[in-house]
Amino acid sequence: MFRLMHEAKPAEALGFTFDGRALTARAGDTVAAALLANGIQACRQTPVSGADRGPYCMMGVCFECLVVIDGVGNRQGCLVPLREGMRIETQAGRRHPDGG
Amino acid sequence: MITIETIGQVAEHYDIAVVGAGPAGLAAASRAAELGLSVLLADENPAPGGQIYRAITTTPVTKRAVLGEDYWKGGALVDRLRPTNAAYAPGCTVWSVAPDEAGGFELGLSLGGQARLIAAGQVILATGAQERPFPIPGWTLPGVMTAGAAQIALKASGLVPSGRTVIAGCGPLLYLLAGQLAAAGANIVAVLDTTPRRNWLAAIAAFPGFLRSPYLAKGLKLMAAARGRLPFKTGVTALAAGGSDKLTGVTVTRGGASETIPCDALLLHQGVIPGINLANAAGCAQHFDTVQHCWTPTVDDWFASSIPGIAIAGDGAGIGGAESAALRGEIAALDAARRLGRLSEAERNEKAAPTQAELARSLRGRRFLDLLYRPAPQFLAPPADETIVCRCEEVTAGQIRDTARRLGVTGPNQMKAFLRCGMGPCQGRLCGPTVVELIAQERGVSAEETGYYRLRPPVKPVTLAELAALPPTDAAIKAVVR
């Protein structure tokens, strides 16, 4: 859905995983930007209907880019800088009592 | 400028805490530090600049013309802060501001997954603006974003939408973004302008002021550049995003006829409004600004809020643009220095005079823009019942209208209790204005009379582990020990 513009300053490539898939993005990207740059549009499902949602405001206001980062849920992907080796997962709807 | 990397590096007490490192916050922190005051500048983002100067020190965009000369002006604000002793904490969320026992304030901070409570004598909230919610059917589909979001992706990461892109809505940013994305190589298949034609009638009375405005030349250039090159469609009266699990197109209505434009990205913009959550939760009085059509914290000429010791500078206290935001930050800092006894009233007045004159100049013409780009009523209160209003809790316009009518709900806080709108993680940031509008319309009363959500700290999520790890105070221990 997004691509790097021509003539962008070069940046180091960082490796990370999204739902187990190995991906790379540029150092300096936020988690949400890294997902968009990899063509990932949906990063969570809503707790109410389970509908897919993706980053909407990119500035910490809308909470649509919530993801699980290194096992911690409800992280705002647009505010967290990407780090090498990050394990990012879809935030799948609401939590269930069995821990699922 | 001392950059804070861990929560432990934050001091126990500062003379002034500034929240937000956009133009207002940067100017306020610089000015306060130059006066010899100890300053904490806390900002959620990884780098300074706020949204307007987003990633000004780190942007990968090399062609200056893509973002325009106004963007690069932001660098000077950061350069001014660098030689000072101000503590700058990026990636730091301020989730609470409350009066403390010493007559100052206690701030709840979170940085790197750890929370702290610190004290500040004076607080300047420079929390800036957010995009006005633009609820249309399908606006929750992946692929639909705000125009500001695309601009942030461009500034911070050098990203441009890769497929067919439609930009829709109203306001100066619409033209600016269209021009920037086109210059960055995006495939813009349509720019759908929802500016109501009758707005010109209301705005024309304010036109003489606009003629002397710094926006005039800039605005005309922007508009001419964008209109000349891009597929503009004006007089848009309805919009709906289509697709089942992601966006596939946008249905647009003009002059009573509808067409569907296939697209991969839809960027929505309906102007910006103050980000009021922290000020509201701190208890600062607010009012409904009928010209800018939004809730705005009430401030005096020095940007002091109703709570002595809390000032609100920049677009967070009414939309004025980047240039005015920096000037307002400057003035708020001078007044905070006066309250701390660092400046006498006469010294404050003398130092502020040139900035105040500059501020008046920078705001010339603003009223014309506010009136011209006032959103059409159908984009403030969505007529289609199925339109989602509260994105977090998935509450629709139909549910809100129905509940207001049948249960006689008089305000948004009651509505929240019935429908959960505003109870999700965004805490009403994306539904508040629309919920108020719908209730006001249903009851035939003003937004002012309808009121707004009563927000409470924490204004951003903070984990229980973070709260539990806070050192207990004597008062907290006494409260539970019998």
pLDDT tens across A36-87, in order?
A: 999 999 999 999 999 999 999 999 999 999 999 999 999 999 999 999 999 9
pLDDT bin (cut points 50, 70, 90) of residue B18 is very high
Residue B35, both tokens? 């006066």
Q: Do A59 and B130 touch (CB under 8 A)?
A: yes
Minimum mean pLDDT among B164-168, B182-186, B418-422, B451-455: which range? B182-186
pLDDT of residue B482: 66
pLDDT in tens, B313-359: 999 999 999 999 999 999 999 999 999 999 999 999 999 999 999 99
Higher pLDDT, residue B60 or B213: B60
Q: Which residues contact B232 (CB under 8 A, 6 or more apart)?
A: B191, B193, B226
Residue with tokens 């404050």: B348
Number of other CB atoms surrounding residue B221 within 10 Å: 13
For residue B216, pLDDT over 80 is answered with no
Minimum mean pLDDT among B65-74, B79-88, B183-192, B198-207: which range? B198-207
pLDDT bin (cut points 50, 70, 90) of residue B220 is low
Residues 74-93 of chain A with CB under 8 A from chain B are: 74, 78-79, 81
For residue B218, pLDDT over 80 is answered with no
Return phi, psi of residue B403, to 5°. -70, -40
**CA-based end-to-end distance of chain B:** 47
pTM of the model: 0.96
Mean pLDDT of B441-448: 97
pLDDT of residue B472: 81
Q: What is the 3-state secondary structure (H, E, C) of chain B?
A: CEECCCHHHCCCEEEEEEECCCHHHHHHHHHHHHCCCCEEEECCCCCCCCCCCCCCCCCCECCHHHHCHHHHCHHHHHHHHCCCCCEEECCEEEEEEEECCCCCEEEEEEECCEEEEEEEEEEEECCCEEECCCCCCCCCCCCEEEHHHHHHHHHHHCEEECCEEEEEEECHHHHHHHHHHHHCCCEEEEEEECCCCCHHHHHHHHHHHHHCCCHHHHHHHHHHHHHHHCCEECCEEEEEEECCCCCCEEEEEECCEEEEEECCEEEEEECEEECCHHHHHHCCCEEEECCCCEEEECCCCCCECCCCCEEECHHHHCCCCHHHHHHHHHHHHHHHHHHCCCCCHHHHHHHHHHHHHHHHHHHCCHHHHHHHCCCCHHHHCCCCCCCEEECCCCEEHHHHHHHHHHCCCCCHHHHHHHHCCCCCCCCCCCCHHHHHHHHHHHHCCCHHHHCCCCCCCCCCCCCHHHHHCCCCCHHHHHHHCC
pLDDT bin (cut points 50, 70, 90) of residue A98 is low
Query: Hey, is the C-beta of A27 within 8 angstroms of any chain B C-beta?
Result: no
Return the residue in A41, A70, A95 with the most chain B beta carbons within 10 A, the one to mutate for interface testing. Answer: A41
pLDDT of residue A97: 67
Higher pLDDT, residue B242 or A6: B242
Return the residue in B57, B67, B114, B157 with the most chain A beta carbons within 10 A, the one to mutate for interface testing. Answer: B157
pLDDT bin (cut points 50, 70, 90) of residue B32 is very high
For residue A28, pLDDT over 80 is answered with yes
- A37: three-class secondary structure by DSSP: helix
* Residues B466/B116, Cβ–Cβ less than 8 Å: no
Torsion of CA B181, B185, B186, B190, to 10 degrees: 80
Query: Hey, is the C-beta of B63 within 8 angstroms of any chain A C-beta?
Result: yes
User: DSSP assignment, residue A36?
Assistant: H
Alpha carbon distance B369, B374 (integer Å): 8
Q: Do A28 and B154 touch (CB under 8 A)?
A: no
Q: What is the mean pLDDT of chain B?
A: 95
Residues 153-192 of chain B with CB under 8 A from chain A are: 153-154, 156-163, 184-185
Alpha carbon distance B165, B153 (integer Å): 14
Query: Hey, is the C-beta of B423 within 8 angstroms of any chain A C-beta?
Result: no
Alpha-carbon dihedral sign for residues B409, B452, B434, B153:
negative
For residue B114, pLDDT over 90 is answered with yes
Return phi, psi of residue A23, to 5°. -135, 165
ipTM: 0.97
Higher pLDDT, residue B276 or B175: B276
Residues of chain B contacting residue A59, judged by C-beta atoms under 8 Å apart? 51, 130, 148-149, 152
pLDDT of residue A100: 52
pLDDT of residue B88: 98
Extract long-range pairs of B441-445: CB within 8 Å, 24+ residues apart: B441/B381, B442/B401, B442/B404, B442/B405, B443/B404, B443/B410
* Residues A35/A77, Cβ–Cβ less than 8 Å: yes
pLDDT in tens, B375-406: 999 999 999 999 999 999 999 999 999 999 99
For residue A99, pLDDT over 60 is answered with no
Mean pLDDT of B165-182: 93
pLDDT in tens, B51-79: 999 999 999 999 999 999 999 999 999 99
Query: Hey, is the C-beta of A12 within 8 angstroms of any chain B C-beta?
Result: no
Tell me how close the Cα of B415 comes to any Cα of chain A, in angstroms: 18
* Residues B153/A58, Cβ–Cβ less than 8 Å: yes
Alpha carbon distance B217, B378 (integer Å): 31
pLDDT bin (cut points 50, 70, 90) of residue A1 is confident
Q: Do B161 and A55 touch (CB under 8 A)?
A: no
Mean pLDDT of A4-30: 96
Q: Looking at the partner chain, which of A37, A41, A61 has a beta carbon nearest the beta carbon of B246?
A: A41
Query: Hey, is the C-beta of B24 within 8 angstroms of any chain A C-beta?
Result: no
